[in-house]
Chains A and B, each alone.
Chain A
Amino acid sequence: MREASVIAPRSLREALRAVGRKGVVAVAGGTDLLVRLHDVAAGERPSFLVLDGVRTLHSIAPRGKGLALGPLVTFSEIERSSLLRTLAPQLVEAASVAGSVQIRNRATLGGNIANGSPAGDLLPPLYVLSARLELSYSGGRRQVMIEDFFKGPGETVLRRNELITRVVFERSQNRGFFLRLAVRRALAISKVSVAANVSLRNGRVQSVRIALGAVAPTVLRASRTEEYLLGRELDRDSIETACGLASGEAAPIDDIRSEADYRREMVGVLLGRGLLRIASAR
């Protein structure tokens, strides 16, 4: 039987030295991790690398023309950040509807990413913001685009000796939204979610990114829908066609939270709501 312990580093250097050790699991907010470990017997539990004390992982700061967020930024901090409200409205919308007050006060950006759930609410916004992840290990670091980070449900390219140390994205003055459906408003995992980042010029779509959550093994870009919308006006016809296309791009399954057919249908409904909102805000 292995003796569990707890490691509470004060610096990133110390944290990176500890993260690769056998039996060590990094804890950010712990709101998913502790649920998963709930029924794990004593003696089978990992040693916890508690990251709270590493101050540099908590920041929200401008970087170049963009923004750099520490992985320990909580959902509540995202929700309240006036900087993010202007520059990443999708991310703020997603952070304010996930979980409950108690969960949002604790759950983190980095944890939501590392957890790797296709239903993670912050992920579709990060896809449409073209976020880049900085992964650090003792002695170096590498960059991975958010779309290349996930391999499947709960599976990522993060190596055992690495931590997510920054989430970076460009400033976006575009219009965006995040919409989701779940069994109730609070404390429910998304059945389906849609995020978008749209810029209009002279009433026409100049650029558009759309990401779908909980309808495939990983979050999915709706690239055919994006292609269709480029250069078009957002009117009733184009939105309706886009909704149909997006439904077709989803690859959902039946599971305890919902059914494939319903999810596919709702991808279109949510995208339609969001696009109409953008069209009528002009």
Chain B
Amino acid sequence: MKGPQDSATVARVQVSFRLNGVSFRKRVPVDWTLLRYLREGLGYYGTKCGCEIGDCGACTVLYDGVALNACLILAPQVDGVDIWTIEGVAPQGERGLHPVQQAFVERGAVHCGFCTPGFVMSTIALFLETRNPSRQEIKEALAGNLCRCTGYIQILDAVKTAASRLRDRDLKKFVSRRR
């Protein structure tokens, strides 16, 4: 939701949540979406703001281990929730990318890159359910993400490539403790 509202004067509510494995306790604006709070409240700009009505999937995040549109959740609704955004995907303290990100790069699945964080999060959510998805399962899992550059073939190939390389430890941290 847009609005000229000054973030200093807006009503807030206290919530506790985990973001990319780190515990937060914050006072969040009562009528901001999670998307706006991630970007404007916490400075996590990796989660992209596309349509803001749940159509494009650019703001997809993991919410207790499943894919959700951050534009369709209120910031106060993250209380007690385990959230992962694109910033938390690459292994910490190491060089290099997560195998899903690496596969996107190698397969030419990234052109302008705007949709990529959302696709990566949806792909990880898919792998949390099934490690060897069929092409049809991949299409269904990614149907909520739009790309206007590559034309999807490269993206489907990237997911297939990632699946062939994935090890258990590449997914471990994303498994929600609440599920």
- Chain B contact residue count (CB 8 A cutoff): 36
Contact with A along B93-107 (1 / 0, CB 8 A): 000000000000000
Query: Does B73 lie within 8 Å of A102, measured CB to CB?
Result: no
Partner of A76, one of B33, B52, B54, B66: B66
Number of residues on chain A facing chain B (CB within 8 A) = 34
B112 to chain A, nearest CB (A): 21
Asked whether A52 lies within 8 Å of B77 as measured between CB atoms, the reply is: yes
CB neighbours of B52 from chain A (8 A) = 38
Distance between A2 CB and nearest chain B CB, rounded to angstroms: 10
Question: From residue B146, how far is it (CB to closest CB) to chain A in Å?
Answer: 9
Q: Is A3 an interface residue (CB 8 A)?
A: yes
CB < 8 Å neighbour of A38 from B1, B30, B67, B76: B1
A27 to B73, CA, bound (A): 10
Q: Known contacts being A4-B31, A37-B1, A39-B2, is A48 close to B143, with CB within 8 Å?
A: no
| Min C-beta distance of A179 to chain B, whole Å | 17
Given A105-B68, A186-B143, A187-B55, CB of A5 within 8 Å of CB of B30? yes
From residue B68, how far is it (CB to closest CB) to chain A in Å?
A: 5
Pick out which of these stretches binds chain A: B3-11, B38-46, B83-91, B160-168. B3-11
Contact of A40 among B1, B63, B144, B145 (CB under 8 A): B1
- A9 CB contacts on chain B under 8 angstroms: none
CA A37 to CA B76, docked complex, whole Å: 16
A53 to chain B, nearest CB (A): 8
* A269 interface contact, C-beta 8 A: no
Residues of chain B within 8 A of A8, CB atoms compared:
13, 76, 79
Closest to A48 in B: B74
Taking A45-B1, A48-B30 as contacts, is the C-beta distance between A99 and B72 under 8 angstroms?
Answer: no
8 Å CB contacts to B: which residues of A86-126?
99-103, 105-106
Q: Is the CB of B122 within 8 A of A106?
A: no
Interface set, chain A 1-41, CB cutoff 8 A to B: 3-6, 8, 27, 29-31, 34-35, 37-41
Residue of B nearest to A96 (CB): B140
Chain A residues contacting B2 (CB-CB under 8 Å) are 38-39
- Chain A residues closer than 8 Å to B141, beta-carbon distance: 101
By a CB distance below 8 angstroms, the chain A residues around B5 are 42-43
Task: Tell me, yes or no, whether A50 is within 8 Å of chain B by CB.
Answer: yes
Residues of A within 8 A of B76 (CB): 6, 8, 48, 50
The CA-CA distance from A77 to B5 in the complex, in Å, is: 37
How far apart are the CA atoms of A76 and B141 in the complex, in Å? Answer: 12
B143 pairs with A42, CB closer than 8 A: no
Task: Flag B52-76 by CB within 8 Å of A: 1 or 0 each.
Answer: 1111010010010011110111101
A82 to chain B, nearest CB (A): 16
Q: Please indicate the chain A residues that have their CB under 8 angstroms from the CB of B60 in the complex.
A: 102
A170 to B144, CA, bound (A): 33
Residues of B within 8 A of A31 (CB): 54, 69, 72
Q: Of residues 124 to 144 in A, which have CB atoms within 8 Å of B's CB atoms?
A: none
**Chain B nearest CB: distance from A51 CB in Å?**
10
Which one of B54, B55, B73, B141 has the highest number of Cβ atoms from chain A below 10 Å of its Cβ?
B54
Instruction: Give CA–CA (A101, B3) in the complex, Å.
Output: 28
> Does A63 sit within 8 A of B, measured CB to CB?
no
Q: Are B1 and A34 closer than 8 Å at their CB atoms?
A: yes
Contact in complex: A101, B4 (CB < 8 Å): no
Smallest CB separation, A187 vs chain B (Å): 6
Name which residue of chain A comes closest to B4, CB basis: A42
Q: Which residues of A contact B145 (CB under 8 A)?
A: 100
Query: Which residues on A sit within 8 Å (CB–CB) of B13?
Result: 5-6, 8
Q: Is the CB of B69 within 8 A of A3?
A: no
Residue of B nearest to A34 (CB): B72
Question: Out of B11, B68, B77, which one reaches A4, CB within 8 Å?
Answer: B11
Task: State the Cβ distance, B174 to closest chain A Cβ, in Å.
Answer: 15
- Shortest CB distance A227–B (Å): 38
Nearest 4 A/B pairs, CB to CB? A100-B144, A186-B143, A42-B3, A42-B5
- Given A41-B4, A103-B144, 7 new contacts (CB under 8 A): A6-B74, A34-B53, A34-B72, A99-B54, A100-B145, A106-B73, A185-B143
